[in-house]
Amino acid sequence: MSFQLNDWYTANFHGNDDSANQVVFRAAIPFALGSTNHIFRVTQPYVTSSPSGATGLADTTIFDLVVFGAPWGRWGVGVSGTMPTGQDGLTTDKWTAGPALGFVNSSSKQINWGLFAQTFFSFAGTAARPMSA
């Protein structure tokens, strides 16, 4: 189990000299369901500055992976999604869900490396809104 509080700063955006900053809370909670091991993670950003001037809570992202051990490390497959919990100007106003896949290679005692990929598909919410806030 882990709880993190991070500060994510973006110095500038392509074609725009504005910067942005978010304070991000992230919790990773391992649990067992029957004979399967899971990792559930929730990420909640709080935007402290943005190019639009909007500040406050942004959309919540979650995932649940079923985790499998392997001789070289571990891998997992599951689902991810977003909930439109953000304030005006910081939300997509859409519910999303999609597949998630990740692995960690821990075959070296000095270095762990891995990859995590998730894809989101909108299934409910304001149809006229773009996918990114």
Residues 46-85: tens digit of each pLDDT: 999 999 899 999 999 999 999 999 999 999 999 999 999 9
**What is the predicted pLDDT for the residue at 5?**
98
**What is the predicted pLDDT for the residue at 131?**
59
List C-alpha distances in Å: 133 to 52, 59, 119: 10, 9, 16
**What is the predicted pLDDT for the residue at 72?**
93
**What is the predicted pLDDT for the residue at 25?**
98
> Residue 71: phi, psi to the nearest 5?
-60, -30
On the question of pLDDT at 128 being above 70, the answer is no
On the question of pLDDT at 133 being above 60, the answer is no
Mean pLDDT value across residues 27-55 = 96
Beta carbons within 8 Å of 17's beta carbon, 6+ residues apart: none
Please report which confidence band the pLDDT of residue 35 belongs to, taking 50, 70 and 90 as the band edges. very high
pTM for the structure as a whole: 0.83
Summarised one tens digit per residue, pLDDT across range 93-121 is 999 999 999 999 998 889 999 999 999 99
The CA radius of gyration of the chain, in Å to the nearest whole number, is: 17
Whole-angstrom Cα distance, residue 86 to residue 79?
21
Whole-angstrom Cα distance, residue 75 to residue 49?
36
Query: Higher model confidence: residue 129 or residue 69?
Result: 69
CA dihedral 120, 121, 127, 131 (to 10 degrees): 30
